[in-house]
């Protein structure tokens, strides 16, 4: 059985021999996605990279995406559900994908493979048993996982071989935490593609452009958040009695560090995902605690007096739970809900006490909740991504953009009030 495919660029497809399971591709000026059918098997065995291995009893997996399908993070197109949604709902660990490809192309063609853009969590790719490359180091029983980035693998001239076919195999690893994060994780989500080297390189550069535009807000927003943190300290220099400003500075810096982690993961290989997640386990609870204390000081809520001690205890408990397991367990969700309850209680108490004077800060509180409690909003099925001008922008990115705009107006409005007060005092 052969799957006849067409990519976004022109391509014609020829039939392989009926006994050959795989994909036959005739290349012109094109890059053709290898949607399959692929042979798939959970587990791990180095023999599965061997082209002579008999995979006839493996299950078949089609990586053809539904029309308009995209991931839920930055909107990368061509997304398909992983193995959890394909009959392996509780499996994590190693799995293999195999496909036999037959390429028809002009004799002078140089071929290349663009790697899959979305894979849980890491992969190695083999051609006829030879390792072509990997998304992460596979040096131990489990790989050290880095973010999967656009990749390009030069290929030998498959179309000049006798028989014209080759065996492509992907060895994939997914960790337990990823398995518990969503109900469609596992393995390859966007199919690799094969094409003439120059066309494949052009596709590779476009994929990097999608990664850049998808995460550029995550690079810009931390800069703006740190700038606002500095402004909050400037305001504090004039209002030394208001301790909300140093807490606001701490909350904004923590948010900035959490946001820039996205860029570190998807633009670089500076830190493994494990390293980033351990940093998040410290920064996330610290950020929530800093926001609780910001609003307590801002609204001057002094009762009950145990709020600071409860906030510190919740931060330590949540950090310990996150270090023990990154996924959103019931215990983690319970602690996060306690943080939400504290912020809501303080806000309502502040509005009751301050009346209309509290209203200008309410949009900041609400936008802060949107970005601080994104996992809970996801669980409530609140839409998480939109596509203005064809670029995927997440709910959290919109939330941070709104938070930055409103908080900028609030802080600079306060600086203008201070300046006017100083001018009046000077005139007297």
Closest CA to 11 of 27, 22, 34: 27
Q: How far is CA 170 from the centre of its chain?
A: 22
Residue indicated by tokens 């309850």: 341
The token duo for 416 is 């203008």
pLDDT, averaged in runs of 10, over the chain (428 residues)? 32 33 64 93 97 95 91 83 94 97 81 94 96 93 93 84 80 92 91 92 92 86 95 92 93 94 89 90 95 95 94 96 78 93 95 88 93 86 75 82 94 89 72
pLDDT at 165: 81
The phi and psi torsions of 364 (rounded to 5 degrees) equal -65, -40
Of the chain, the percentage scoring pLDDT greater than 70 comes to 89
The per-residue pLDDT of the chain, averaged, comes to: 87
**E strand or H helix at 25:** strand 22-26
Confidence (pLDDT) at 324: 84
Domain boundaries, the chain: 22-191, 213-427
Do residues 111 and 157 make contact, with C-beta atoms less than 8 angstroms apart?
Answer: yes
**Residue 18, pLDDT score:** 32
pTM tops 0.85:
no
- C-alpha distances (whole Å) from 2 to each of 23, 37, 61, 259 are 6, 7, 12, 44
Cα torsion through 331, 332, 333, 335, rounded to 10 = 90
Distance CA 22, CA 36 (A): 6
Which has the closest alpha carbon to 111: 160, 150, 170, 39? 160
Cα 258 to Cα 141: distance, rounded to the nearest angstrom = 29
Report pLDDT digits (tens) over 179-220. 988 889 999 999 999 988 999 999 999 999 988 888 888 899
Encoded tokens for 364: 């900041």
* Structure-block tokens of residue 325: 């397991």
Q: Which of 129, 123, 124 is nearest to 51 (CA)?
A: 129
Q: Which residue has the tokens 């061997």?
A: 50
Task: With CA atoms as reference, report the closest residue to 245 among 260, 258, 228, 257.
Answer: 228
Q: Which of 81, 165, 85, 153 is nearest to 124 (CA)?
A: 153
Residue 387: the pLDDT is: 74
pLDDT above 90 as % of the chain: 60
Which CATH number applies to 213-427? 1.20.1070
Classify domain 22-191 at the CATH class level.
mainly beta
Quick check: helix, strand or coil at residue 32? strand
């Amino acid at each position: 059985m052969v799957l006849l495919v067409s990519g976004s660029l022109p391509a014609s497809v020829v039939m392989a021999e009926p006994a050959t399971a795989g994909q036959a591709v005739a290349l012109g000026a094109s890059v053709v996605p290898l949607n399959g059918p692929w042979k798939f098997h959970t587990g791990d065995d180095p023999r599965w990279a061997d082209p002579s291995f008999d995979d006839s009893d493996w299950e078949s997996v089609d990586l053809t995406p539904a029309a308009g399908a995209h991931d839920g993070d930055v909107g990368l197109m061509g997304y398909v559900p992983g193995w959890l949604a394909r009959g392996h709902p509780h499996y994590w660990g190693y799995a293999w994908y195999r496909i036999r490809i037959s390429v028809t192309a002009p004799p002078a063609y140089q071929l290349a493979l663009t790697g899959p853009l979305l894979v849980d969590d890491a992969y190695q790719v083999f051609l006829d048993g030879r390792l072509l490359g990997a998304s992460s180091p596979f040096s131990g029983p489990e790989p050290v996982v880095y973010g999967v980035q656009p990749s390009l693998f030069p290929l030998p001239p498959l179309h000049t071989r006798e028989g014209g076919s080759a065996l492509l195999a992907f060895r994939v690893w997914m960790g337990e935490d990823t398995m518990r994060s969503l109900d469609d994780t596992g393995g390859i989500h966007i199919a690799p593609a094969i094409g003439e080297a120059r066309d494949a390189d052009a596709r590779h550069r476009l994929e990097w452009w999608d990664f850049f535009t998808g995460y550029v807000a995550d690079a810009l927003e931390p800069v703006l958040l740190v700038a606002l943190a500095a402004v909050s300290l400037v305001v504090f220099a004039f209002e030394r009695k208001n301790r909300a400003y140093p807490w606001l500075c701490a909350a904004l810096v923590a948010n900035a560090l959490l946001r820039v982690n996205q860029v570190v993961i998807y633009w670089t290989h500076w830190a493994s995902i494990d390293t980033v997640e351990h940093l998040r386990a410290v920064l996330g609870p610290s950020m929530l605690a800093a926001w609780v204390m910001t609003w307590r000081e801002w609204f001057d809520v002094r009762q009950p007096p145990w709020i600071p001690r409860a906030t510190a205890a919740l931060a330590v408990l949540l950090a310990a739970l996150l270090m023990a397991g990154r996924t959103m367990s019931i215990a983690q969700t319970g602690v996060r809900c306690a943080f939400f309850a504290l912020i809501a209680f303080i806000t309502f108490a502040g509005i009751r006490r301050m009346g209309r004077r509290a209203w200008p800060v309410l949009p900041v509180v609400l936008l802060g909740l949107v970005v601080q409690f994104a996992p809970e909003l996801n669980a409530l099925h609140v839409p998480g991504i939109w596509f203005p001008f064809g670029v995927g922008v997440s709910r959290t990115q919109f939330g941070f953009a709104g938070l930055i705009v409103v908080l900028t107006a609030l802080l600079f409005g306060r600086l203008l009030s201070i300046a006017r007060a100083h001018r009046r005092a000077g005139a007297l």
